[in-house]
Each structure stands twice: as C-alpha cells, then as structure tokens.
C-alpha cells in the first residue's frame, strides 16, 4: 500500500505574512489527514512556514534546489540552505521551470542528485505538452523525462523520490486530464520505473497527478489505482479548497 501524498505548489504567491495566515487557517482543517501533506512555498516563506508547521502534520517543501553545494551561482539556493531553513521536500523540474527557465532533463537530474545527497524528499515533475498528447507522444515524452531525471540515481534513492505526472496542458488551465488518462499515463510511468529499478521500487514509488486538481475532481482522480496523490497549484492557495483535497486523499 502506498500512502497518498498531497502537495501544494504555491508558485510565486504569498509573502511570509500571507504564508503564516494560510498555514494557520489550514493546519486545523487537515489535522486528521491520513495522507502526507506538504506545502511547497516560495524560498522566502520557508522559515516562517516551518515555524508554523512545527508540531502539525504539514511538511514544508521548496520549489527548486541548486545543483551545486555552494559557489558562484547567483540567484540559486542550495539544498543545505533549504534544509537549514526547514524544508523537507523539494519540487524539481516543474514544467514552468522547464518552459521559462531553461530546465532540462540534465539539470533536473543534477538537482535530484543534490536533493537526495542532502536528505530532501524530491518531487520530480514530468509531463507532456498538448502537441505531444495530440500527436500520440505522451508516453515517449514521459519515458524520456523519467529516464533522464533518474540517470545514475540508485534504487535506494529512487525509492525516496516522488514523481508528479503533470500534463502541461492541464496546469493552471482549468482543464484536467480525465481520470482514465491520468491513470493510464501514471501506469506507463510506473512501468518505466519498473524497467529502470524493478517491480519492488516501481510498486512502492508514489506517483502523483497534477494539473487543475481541485475539490470537485479529487475524488475521481484519487479513486484510480495508479494515482497516489496530487501536486496542486491554484487550489492550494485557499485553505478550504486545499483541505477538501487533502481530506479526500485516503
Ligand atoms: C502545479 O503548479 O503543479 C499545478 C498542477 O497547478 P494547477 O493545480 O494550478 O494546475
């Protein structure tokens, strides 16, 4: 049995003061959750979020991590810095980073190495563009992204990693993959993990769906056997909506 994991991706939203308000409102609403609950907040909110989440069942995550320990990498934040600030998780390779900031499978892999080396729990994002889906290339794109992300990653480390399947055309658009589409592609991703690491790792790995997941569609998605939770953008910014999603993930 895989324990579901629901992670909010706040993207570039919420100042530290707003972060405190949101977590204070969220914590009592999700205190009885049976899934893992994570909020992936902007870098500048991590310390405040960690302070507020102490003693609750909510873990704090970052939205990126540098591929180096330290050095001349202006604008980057190292894994050690994230850990010290209170992050336990980190999102790597989100499609917005791939689209706007030149993230590639190679840099995703390097960031994954760094996260694992420092004890962060990575959430690695993969997913196809609309044109890929329309031309029947969804499985091929996901295979390339998963294989690239996990290059030279050991089975022990792979087991600690969560994959988020996020069709790019469903992110922030209000369009959700159907329950069956999401389940089928996640099943394919699991088969790629099985080819790389064997059945035990593939069966144990948690693979989330992400892309306009919300309070209305969560039940259908979570009822699918391959879907182990969600990475949630827009709906994670409202305590009531995010709590409904968390409490539906059983
Ligand atoms: C995301 O940012 O990973 C995401 C899935 O966003 P949204 O839920 O807003 O589509």
- Tell whether pTM > 0.95: yes
Task: Using pLDDT thresholds of 50, 70 and 90, give the confidence band for residue 56.
Answer: very high
The answer to whether the beta carbons of residues 42 and 12 sit under 8 Å apart is: yes
What is the C-alpha separation between 141 and 136, in angstroms, rounded? 10
Catalytic residue among 103, 128, 166, 188: 166
pLDDT at residue 7 greater than cutoff 90: yes
The answer to whether 188 is a known catalytic residue is: no
pLDDT at residue 101 greater than cutoff 90: yes
The answer to whether the beta carbons of residues 6 and 37 sit under 8 Å apart is: yes
pLDDT at residue 59 greater than cutoff 90: yes
Task: Using pLDDT thresholds of 50, 70 and 90, give the confidence band for residue 176.
Answer: confident
Q: Which tokens sit at 25?
A: 């409102």
Mutation to probe ligand 1, out of 234, 236, 242 (largest number of atoms < 8 A from CB): 234
Q: What is the pLDDT of residues 103-116, one digit of tens each?
A: 999 999 999 999 99
Task: Using pLDDT thresholds of 50, 70 and 90, give the confidence band for residue 10.
Answer: very high
Q: What is the DSSP letter of 223?
A: T
CA angle 171-172-178, nearest 5°? 50
The answer to whether 103 is a known catalytic residue is: no
Q: Residue 250: its pLDDT value, please?
A: 84
Q: Is the dihedral of CA 28, 31, 33, 37 positive or negative?
A: positive
CB distance 213 to ligand 1 below 6 Å: yes
Q: Residue 68: its pLDDT value, please?
A: 98
Average pLDDT, the chain: 97
Q: Residue 244: its pLDDT value, please?
A: 98
% pLDDT > 90, the chain: 97
Q: What is the pLDDT of residues 188-238, one digit of tens each?
A: 999 999 999 999 999 999 999 999 999 999 999 999 999 999 999 999 999
- Cα-to-centroid distance, 231 and ligand 1 (Å): 7
pLDDT at residue 175 greater than cutoff 90: no
> 216: how many CB neighbours lie within 10 A of its CB?
12
Task: Using pLDDT thresholds of 50, 70 and 90, give the confidence band for residue 100.
Answer: very high
Q: Residue 2: its pLDDT value, please?
A: 97
CB distance 221 to ligand 1 below 6 Å: no
Residue spans of beta strands (DSSP E) within 88-152? 89-92, 121-126
């Amino acid at each position: 049995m895989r324990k579901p994991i629901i992670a909010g991706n706040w993207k570039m939203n919420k100042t530290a003061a707003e972060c405190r308000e949101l977590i204070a409102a969220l914590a009592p609403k999700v205190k009885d959750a049976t899934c893992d609950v994570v909020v992936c907040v902007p870098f500048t909110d991590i310390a405040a979020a960690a302070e507020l989440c102490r003693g609750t069942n909510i873990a704090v995550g970052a939205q990126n991590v540098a591929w180096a320990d330290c050095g001349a990498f202006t604008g980057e934040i190292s894994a050690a810095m994230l850990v010290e600030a209170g992050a336990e998780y980190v999102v790597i390779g989100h499609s917005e980073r791939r689209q706007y900031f030149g993230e590639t499978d190679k840099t995703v892999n390097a960031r994954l190495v760094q996260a694992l080396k420092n004890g962060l729990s990575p959430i690695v994002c993969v997913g196809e563009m609309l044109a890929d889906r329309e031309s029947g290339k969804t499985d091929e794109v996901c295979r390339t992204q998963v294989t690239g992300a996990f290059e030279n990653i050991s089975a022990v480390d792979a087991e600690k990693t969560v994959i988020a399947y996020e069709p790019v055309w469903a992110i922030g658009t209000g369009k959700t993959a159907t329950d069956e589409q999401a389940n089928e592609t996640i099943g394919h991703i699991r088969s790629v993990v099985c080819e790389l690491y064997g059945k035990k790792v593939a069966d144990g790995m948690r693979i989330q769906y992400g892309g306009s997941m919300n309070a209305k569609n969560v039940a259908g998605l979570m009822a699918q056997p391959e879907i182990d939770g969600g990475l949630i953008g827009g709906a994670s910014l409202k305590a009531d909506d995010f709590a409904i999603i968390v409490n539906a993930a059983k």
